[in-house]
Chains A and B, each alone.
Chain A
């Protein structure tokens, strides 16, 4: 009986008990209470552009993972994929909000009304050529093997980056990175377990896992060449040179793929990332159309 009353009680006070809300679902600005002063000697436009790169990778990959919701192989996997999606969404929100504090809002503010927070102006009101994510994040999800191989590659790369970004001179980036390390460690571990099971499972799963590895590998070409923005920020102690993650990423991926009894394809030659420059494959526009459609239909609405 006591419990019955407690539950009804909770309903009556519809707006109390903030502490019980799930992470990221409260009302606060994601950076509330954080000192967002730009550190001395750091170019705000560069810092904002850098946050968009990392934020867009997370947002776009979250969208790809979320495509699995209600379609995953097991209920446990529904929960796991939602966990990864929520973590990436949380990282994206913080990074886009940080870009907003750097006044890097691009054309988004021409469309979004003032009632829309920066993170949403950036997520919903930028066009495809303003997105800075790598092609790795936007590539079509494919089957479960492809989803897990891509998650393995993306989380291995992102973990290597954010582990170093904990030392960033920008306290906001450093805090976001510190929060991201355990999250991405879990994503990498989860994906690696699946790649092992699929690679070393049945002949069919082995075949599909190899197809997935072969399809995802070429996308690693874009991951290790710094943009000019990154090089300037590396000099200022804010960013990490992605080239410095190359060995670690390749070692981890090689180890997992070999243990999964799969063949490690040849590594593609590095190239500057077209995605970072706003050049995308045809797969991004439909993804963004779905993401942004409703928000754009109601530019004066608050949600």
Chain B
């Protein structure tokens, strides 16, 4: 059997083709050639995002059994279910780059890959579920909407679906807070307390400041990332301040003020030392989150093994 003699493109030609695709703002698809560093960087980013969706089920999941009305229970169960779905689409997107979901999960559990540090804070009252929807899903949307135009096709498409659902979560969270603010004095105090605890961590969700963000420049050049961390953080603050006013809560930052000249809000300094503590494993719930994820894998390993054995026996 003789192969047709088609000249194989050289590495340089492939690189040029890739660069042209990026320059034209077209999508890279799984079968296209891509530089190894682009592939690796994407796997890292998508896996970290997928892990965040899955670990992110836990803080609110802790209230599923205790939700204070049946309607709220339905809302919360549907939301936690959506997050599992988000994790699944994202792991699938990573698999189009040659990664493997089980292997990525192992890396998460072994601490070799990270997830968003926001999920290492505890949910102390039911207001936390509302504030997570409003602020955490809200920040996630600001981060993710630009990713709907990511240069990598499967990631961009996953993000479109994810963002639609995140926007429901944000509304549902905000609507819970609105309802609680119209309720008893205790409920209003719960909302304010939750805002006090989640506001600063939510600002940290955009990552380190631009002058301290090692991977950002390359990600921007490759069209994997579209806006800098600080730009997205600013957008988020600008969006959240009027929402806080409408809700009737105070954001815990005395320096927060409208800059009349730019129409944007100035805000106080973020405690990056805390961020580094939490991201390096010393947040209030890091250990609990990973322990539970590990238990889900290990305690149920016999189930997964059974499913594989059954499928092998009945493969025809």
Q: Which residues of A contact B (CB under 8 A)?
A: 1, 3-4, 7-8, 10-11, 14-15, 20-25, 59, 63, 66-67, 69-76, 78-79, 82-83, 85-86, 89-90, 92-93, 96, 116-117, 119-120, 123-124, 144, 196-198, 200-202, 204-205, 208, 290-291, 293-295, 298, 300-303
Pairwise interchain contact A75-B84, C-beta atoms closer than 8 A: yes
| Residue numbers in A under 8 Å from B81 (CB-CB) | 78-79, 82-83, 86
B167 and A10 contacting across the interface, CB-CB below 8 Å? yes
A201 CB contact (under 8 Å) in B77, B146, B170, B306: B306
A-B contacts, 11 of them at CB < 8 A, read A4-B145, A14-B171, A66-B64, A72-B296, A79-B85, A86-B78, A89-B73, A92-B70, A205-B309, A208-B302, A301-B187
In the complex, which residues of chain B have a beta carbon less than 8 angstroms from the beta carbon of A303? 68-69, 71-72, 126, 176, 179-180, 183
- Among B148, B164, B175, B184, contact of A298 (Cβ-Cβ < 8 Å): B184
Which partner residue on chain A sits nearest B160 by CB separation? A3
Q: How far is the CA of A20 from the CA of B70 in the complex (A)?
A: 19
Contacts of B172 in A (CB 8 A): 21, 25
* B202 part of interface (Cβ distance < 8 Å): no
Q: Is B153 an interface residue (CB 8 A)?
A: no
CA distance A124 to B71 in the complex (A): 12
Minimum-distance CB pairs A-B, first 6: A201-B306, A205-B306, A73-B300, A82-B81, A78-B84, A24-B74
Cβ contact within 8 Å between A205 and B302: yes
Considering the complex, give the chain B residue whose CB is closest to the CB of A72. Answer: B296
- Residues of chain B with a CB closer than 8 A to A205's CB: 302-303, 305-306, 309
Stretch among B15-23, B54-62, B107-115, B208-216 lining the A interface? B54-62
Q: Does B307 contact A (CB under 8 A)?
A: yes
User: Contact at B141–A7, with CB atoms within 8 Å?
Assistant: yes
- One of B67, B84, B303, B310 near A73 (C-beta < 8 A): B303
- Inter-chain CA distance A4–B67, complex, in Å, is 33
How many angstroms from the CA of A11 to the CA of B175 in the assembled complex? 12
In the complex, B47 has a CB within 8 A of chain A: no
How many A-B Cβ pairs are below 8 Å? 185
User: Contact at B65–A4, with CB atoms within 8 Å?
Assistant: no
Among A20, A63, A85, A301, the residue within 8 A (CB) of B168 is A20
CB-CB under 8 A from B175, the residues of chain A are 14-15
List of A residues within 8 angstroms of B58 by Cβ: 70
Q: Scoring B residues 173 to 191 as 1 if CB is less than 8 Å from chain A, else 0, what string do you get? A: 0111001101110110000
Contacts A66-B65, A78-B57; is A302 near B70 (CB within 8 Å)? Answer: no
CB distance from B117 to the nearest CB of A (A): 18
Tell me the minimal C-beta distance from A151 to chain B in angstroms. 14
* Contact assessment for A198 and B145 in the assembled complex, using a CB-CB cutoff below 8 Å: no
Which residue of chain A lies nearest to B82 when distances are taken between CB atoms in the complex?
A: A22
Task: Answer whether A123 and B184 are a contact pair too, CB < 8 Å, given A22-B168, A303-B176.
Answer: no
Does A75 lie within 8 Å of B88, measured CB to CB? yes
**Are B167 and A11 interface neighbours, CB within 8 A?**
yes
Assembled-state Cα–Cα distance A67/B163 (Å): 27
* Complex: A3 Cα to B187 Cα, angstroms: 36
Q: How far is the CB of B21 from chain A (nearest CB, A)?
A: 19
B313 at interface, CB cutoff 8 A:
yes
Please report the C-alpha to C-alpha distance between residue A293 and residue B313 in the assembled complex, in whole angstroms: 47
Give the docked Cα–Cα distance between A205 and B302 (Å): 6
Nearest Cβ distance between residue B43 and chain A, in whole angstroms? 18
What is the bound-complex CA distance between A85 and B91, given in angstroms? 24
Q: How far is the CB of B106 from chain A (nearest CB, A)?
A: 14
- Docked Cα-Cα span, A202 to B311, in Å, equals 11
User: How many interface residues does B have (CB within 8 Å)?
Assistant: 68
CB neighbours (8 Å) of B309 from chain A are: 201-202, 205
Asked if B66 contacts A294 (CB within 8 A), the reply is yes
Let me know if B87 is at the binding interface, CB within 8 A.
Answer: yes
In the assembled complex, B292 has its CB within 8 A of some CB on chain A? yes
Instruction: Give, as a whole number of angstroms, the nearest-CB distance from B129 to chain A.
Output: 10
Smallest CB gap from B243: residue in A: A14
> Are B307 and A67 in contact, with the CB atoms below 8 A?
no
Which residues on B sit within 8 Å (CB–CB) of A24?
71, 74, 78
A196 and B65: CB pair below 8 A? no
Q: Does B80 contact A (CB under 8 A)?
A: yes
Interface contact A294-B68, CB-CB below 8 Å: yes
- A63 and B187 within 8 A (CB): no
Contact B183 A302 (CB under 8 A): yes
**Binary A-proximity of B268-304 (CB < 8 A = 1, otherwise 0):** 0000000000000000000000001001100110111
A301 partner residues in chain B, CB cutoff 8 A = 68, 180, 183-184, 186-187
Instruction: Considering the complex, give the chain B residue whose CB is closest to the CB of A82.
Output: B81
B75 close to chain A: CB less than 8 A: yes
Contacts of A83 in B (CB 8 A): 81
A283 CB, nearest partner CB in chain B, Å: 14
| Interchain CB contact (< 8 A) of A86 among B67, B74, B88, B186 | B74
Instruction: State whether A8 and B145 are in contact (beta carbons under 8 Å apart), knowing that A201-B305, A293-B66 are contacts in the complex.
Output: yes
A85 CA to B68 CA, complexed, in Å: 16
With A and B bound together, what is the CA distance between A196 and B307 in angstroms?
9
Contact of B126 among A197, A291, A294 (CB under 8 A): A294
Given known contacts A82-B81, A197-B306, A301-B183, what 17 new A-B pairs fall within 8 Å (CB)?
A1-B149, A3-B148, A4-B149, A7-B145, A8-B239, A15-B171, A22-B168, A72-B296, A73-B300, A73-B304, A75-B84, A75-B87, A200-B314, A205-B303, A298-B68, A301-B184, A302-B183
User: Are A70 and B292 neighbours in the complex by a CB distance under 8 Å?
Assistant: yes
CA distance A73 to B305 in the complex (A): 10
Which residues of the partner chain B approach A302 to less than 8 Å between Cβ atoms?
179, 182-183
A204 touches B77 (CB 8 A): no
- Report the bound CA distance from A182 to B145 in whole Å: 36
- Contact check, B304 vs A74: say whether CB atoms are below 8 A apart: yes
